[in-house]
């Protein structure tokens, strides 16, 4: 993939910078310091790539998909933190050997007496704090809003670390070309972030003037929010996509949460369907008509563009039915929907799904865990029992993380090719 070539090509260029600037490596101190310089350069380059992946550039979003970009960002974040930690430890160790001082004394000297290294240290600690909050065991215990705002600290961390890289990096001092390229990389990424995450959403908000028209209960703890505004067709939203919604009312205005469209985009209205799983989502049931809405998007590649086969299986769990409901209405060809929930009353939008199935001659299978007589394991055999020609189909999969992981394993075992499984995750 071109994206992989660009990322690894940039990493190779960073290593070439170190190679050209290092005539020789002598002794243990030299090897440790050299390794510290390499990990520092790679960590600095990785920071720019991580920001680019989350800049919401339409070209990347349509080609790769927001969900996959987020997974790359999470994986890259772990590598970046590991490189930054290795850089800190190796540089301190190498310098202490070279100066014949203790590690603590050398750390104090570096932090307090090297230009911009105190800022770099603060940036590193912010990165470390973000990594701890993003660890799976911790992340499960914090709300999306808390995780999101703590993640914003990484912008400050990158800013602080950038100055340290140019001031203290041996590969940049005295190398004007390297400095210019590094500035161009970071300024380019910053420009994309400001344009697509700030300027474009503000411009669209002023143009479309979205507001809430109705809040309608759909199932226990599940509501649909209907929205209207000006020139909605110009948003060019597609079935299967989502927006980041900011409701401008007390307690909600400060957080922008991602919710998929649950009805095909209409020139007169948009609709989302949300399950109460946290403070923000639960508060949507209390929205009043007329509440103004700031929406960023549309985002995501979970659309008909991914379809390759004539037949399609839509496999959803819980409120993961929302993007699948739009695809069930609009996807051409033969479509089968399998909708899993804990109880029959948790099957949101069931009336609409039945009406759509009847209108287009499609098939819907409802699978619930309770009562046990209607339950079915999420296995390859069970899926083939519902959809005998499963291996010939494209599969659109959306649901909670546990259900999604089990479904991916079952689909692989059933012989569905990996490139035919289109997956959207709720995990942040």
What pLDDT, on a 0 to 100 scale, did the predictor assign at position 138? 65
CB-based burial, 352-366: b 16+ in 10 Å, e otherwise = bbeebbeeeebebbe
Scanning 284-369, the segments in alpha helix (DSSP H) are 321-330, 350-360
Domain 209-299 = CATH 1.10.240.10: no
* Average pLDDT of the chain to the nearest whole number: 88
Three-state secondary structure call for residue 60: helix
- The CATH architecture annotation of domain 304-424 reads 3-Layer(aba) Sandwich (3.40)
What pLDDT, on a 0 to 100 scale, did the predictor assign at position 248? 93
d(CA 92, CA 94): 6
What pLDDT, on a 0 to 100 scale, did the predictor assign at position 11? 87
d(CA 114, CA 97): 18
What pLDDT, on a 0 to 100 scale, did the predictor assign at position 316? 92
DSSP state of 423: E
What pLDDT, on a 0 to 100 scale, did the predictor assign at position 401? 84
Is residue 53 within 8 Å of 196, Cβ to Cβ? no
What pLDDT, on a 0 to 100 scale, did the predictor assign at position 352? 94
Nearest to 66 by CA among 244, 229, 201: 244
Locate the domains of the chain by residue range. 1-204, 209-299, 304-424
What pLDDT, on a 0 to 100 scale, did the predictor assign at position 428? 47
* Spans of the chain, pLDDT less than 70: 1-3, 136-146, 373-374, 425-428
């Amino acid at each position: 993939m071109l994206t992989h070539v660009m990322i690894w090509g940039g990493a190779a260029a960073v290593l070439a910078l170190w190679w050209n600037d290092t005539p020789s490596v002598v002794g243990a101190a030299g090897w440790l310091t050299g390794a510290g310089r390499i990990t520092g350069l790679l960590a600095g380059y990785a920071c720019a790539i991580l920001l680019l992946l989350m800049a919401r550039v339409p070209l990347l979003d349509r080609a790769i998909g927001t969900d996959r970009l987020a997974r790359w960002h999470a994986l890259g974040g772990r590598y970046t933190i590991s490189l930054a930690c290795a850089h800190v430890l190796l540089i301190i160790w190498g310098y202490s050997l070279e100066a014949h001082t203790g590690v603590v004394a050398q750390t104090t000297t570096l932090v307090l007496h090297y230009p911009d290294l105190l800022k770099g240290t603060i940036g590193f600690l912010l990165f470390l704090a973000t990594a701890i909050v993003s660890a799976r065991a911790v992340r499960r215990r914090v709300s999306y809003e808390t995780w999101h705002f703590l993640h914003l600290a990484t912008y400050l961390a990158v800013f602080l670390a950038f100055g340290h890289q140019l001031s203290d990096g041996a590969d940049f001092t005295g190398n004007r070309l390297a400095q210019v390229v590094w500035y161009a990389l970071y300024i380019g990424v910053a420009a994309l972030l400001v344009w697509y995450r700030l300027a474009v959403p503000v411009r669209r908000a002023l143009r479309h003037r979205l507001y809430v028209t109705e809040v309608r209960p759909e199932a226990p703890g599940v509501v649909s929010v209907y929205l209207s505004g000006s020139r909605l067709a110009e948003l060019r939203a597609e079935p299967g996509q989502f927006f980041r919604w900011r409701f401008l009312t007390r307690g909600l205005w400060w957080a922008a949460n991602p919710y998929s469209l649950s009805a095909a985009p209409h020139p007169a209205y948009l609709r989302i369907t949300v399950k109460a799983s946290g403070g923000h989502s639960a508060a949507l049931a209390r929205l009043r008509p007329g509440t103004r809405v700031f929406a960023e998007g549309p985002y995501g590649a979970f659309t008909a563009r991914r379809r390759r086969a004539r037949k399609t299986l839509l496999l959803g769990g819980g409120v993961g039915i929302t993007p699948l409901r739009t695809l069930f209405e609009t996807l051409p060809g033969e479509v089968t929907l399998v909708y899993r929930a804990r109880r029959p009353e948790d099957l949101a939008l069931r009336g609409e799904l039945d009406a759509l199935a009847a209108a287009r001659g499609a098939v819907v299978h409802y699978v619930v865990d309770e009562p046990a007589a209607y339950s079915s394991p999420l296995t390859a055999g069970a899926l083939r029992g519902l959809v005998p020609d499963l291996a010939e189909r494209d599969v659109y999969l959306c649901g909670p993380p546990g259900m999604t992981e089990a479904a991916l394993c079952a689909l692989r075992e059933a012989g569905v090719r990996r490139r035919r499984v289109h997956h959207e995750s709720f995990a942040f």
